[in-house]
Structure 1
């Protein structure tokens, strides 16, 4: 399913957090949002999973204006893993994952055998099946991240929105998670701070600065030394990964005088 942000603007307390943002994610494509802290990345994502209503502009899911869908229908189509996603009650891992089926159930309807199997497969994919009976509050930050992603996948969405999903994850699980996104077949919009991971995982990148879209394109087109210095304020050389050919950044770290 195609996702498009069309002239999205978010103004809060007289301050523009996002300004006239237009960006398209084609069906099955992985698009990354990158940019400095405070550039509007998370704010844009919140509009997609309806935690925030834009001041103007439209979020399109296929041919539908997101705001014209019921909350139930949009939750069936869009799954989100928020940066500040948390579980405050000590549910077990399997209970948290099963919550992903909530948009598809009525009231206290029990999970079907198919849905139980779907939850089990999702936990297997994220390597957390052995944690199923553990209380989620006893988990490490990285383990909890994987539980929340398993919950999102159990929704069987067509669009997946993730805000810094690699937070707290070790290198192995970062690579596994991003490989999963690449092979999911879902339409994915993801915020990443690590530009090298973004280059390896995303088909296209959108670069934000001060709430505006600076440029969009393939990682090779976007991640140039000039742009990295202009937007992020750091000097870097761009090389090709010897195994994949993806552009990768080598940062110049100068000692402080």
Structure 2
């Protein structure tokens, strides 16, 4: 299902957080949003999963205005994993994952055999099956992150929205998680801070700065030395990955010469 943000703007307390943002995510594509802290990435995502109503503009899932849909219908179309996603009660991992089926159930309806198998597959994919009987409050931040993504996947959404999903994850699970996104089925809009991971995982990238979309296109088109300097304020050399050809950034750390040690009197 295609996702389209059309002229999206968010103004809070007289401050523009997102300014006239238009972005298309084709059916089944993975599109990344990148940009400095405070550039409006998470605010834009909140409008997609309906935690925030934009000041102006629309969010369309196919031809449907997400902001006008009944809550249950919207929850069947869009699943989200947020930066501040948390579970306050000490449910077990398998109980939390099963909560992803809530939009599809009526009242206290039990999970079907198919739904139980769906939960098991999601836990296998995210490498958390061995944690199924553990309480989520006993997990590390990275383990809990994978549990919340499994919950989003069993929702079987048409559109998956992820806000910094690699936070707290070790390198192995960062790579494994992002590899699942490609060809996973849902249309994916994801915020990432690691530009190299974004280049490897995303079909297209949108760059936000001060609430505006300043660049958009394939990773090769977008991730240039000039853009990284202008938007992020750092120097980087862009090289092609030797196996995939994806652009990879090599950062030059600015260093100042050490001050000479004071002479002994």
TM-score (norm 1): 0.99
1:94 lines up with 2:73 in the alignment: no
Residue pairs, 1:3-22, within 5 angstroms: 3-22=3-22
CA RMSD of aligned residues (A): 0.7
- Deviation, structure 1 residue 117: 1.0
Three-state SS of the structure 2 residue aligned to 1:28 is coil
Q: How many residues align?
A: 257
1:183 aligns to what SS in structure 2? Answer: coil
Where does residue 45 of structure 2 map in the other structure? Answer: 45
Offset at residue 110 of structure 1 (A):
1.1
CA drift of 1:254 comes to 1.8
Cα deviation 1:74-99 (Å, max 9, x = unaligned): 10010100011011111000000000
Q: Which piece of structure 1 moves more, 75-84 or 106-115?
A: 106-115
Match of 1:91, SS state, is coil
1:66, CA displacement in angstroms?
0.9
For residue 60 of structure 2, what is the aligned residue in structure 1? 60
SS of residue paired to 2:182: helix
Following the alignment from structure 1 to structure 2, what is the Cα–Cα distance between the partners of residues 153 and 2?
18
Q: Which residue of 1 aligns with 2:106?
A: 106
Structure-2 separation of matches of 1:40 and 1:119:
33
In 1: Cα distance, 2:72 partner to 2:106 partner: 11
The answer for the alignment partner of 1:207 in structure 2 is: 207
Deviations 1:2-27, CA, capped at 9 Å, x for gaps: 00000000011111100000000000
The question of 1:227 aligning with 2:227 is answered: yes
Counterpart CA distance in 2 for 1:26 and 1:183 is 13
- Tell me the residue number matched to 1:138: 138
Equivalents in 1 of 2:82, 2:207: separation in Å?
19
Cα separation, 2, equivalents of 1:121 and 1:203:
25
In structure 2, the residue matched to 1:162 is 162
TM-score (norm 2): 0.96
- State the shift of 1:123 in Å: 0.5
Larger Rg: 2
Q: Which residue of 2 aligns with 1:85?
A: 85
1:162 is paired with a residue whose SS is: strand
Gaps of 5+ in 2: 258-265
Rounded to whole Å, the distance in 1 between the matches of 2:202 and 2:113 is: 35
In structure 1, stretches of 5+ residues that fail to align are none
User: What is the CA distance between 1:165 and its match in structure 2?
Assistant: 0.3
Superposed displacement of residue 183, structure 1 = 2.5
Looking at structure 2, the residues matched to 256 and 103 of structure 1 have their Cα atoms a distance apart, in angstroms, of 56
Please state whether the residue corresponding to 2:147 is helix, strand or coil.
Answer: helix
Aligned partners of 2:112, 2:147: CA distance in 1, in Å? 20
**Counterpart in 1 of 2:34?**
34
SS in 1 for 2:91: coil
Poorly superposed stretches of 4+, deviation over 6 Å: none
How many Å separate the matches in 1 of 2:202 and 2:194?
A: 12
State whether structure 2 residue 2 is matched by structure 1 residue 2: yes
> 1:188 aligned to 2:188?
yes
Higher mean displacement: 63-72 or 35-44? 63-72
CA distance in 1, matches of 2:161, 2:256: 38
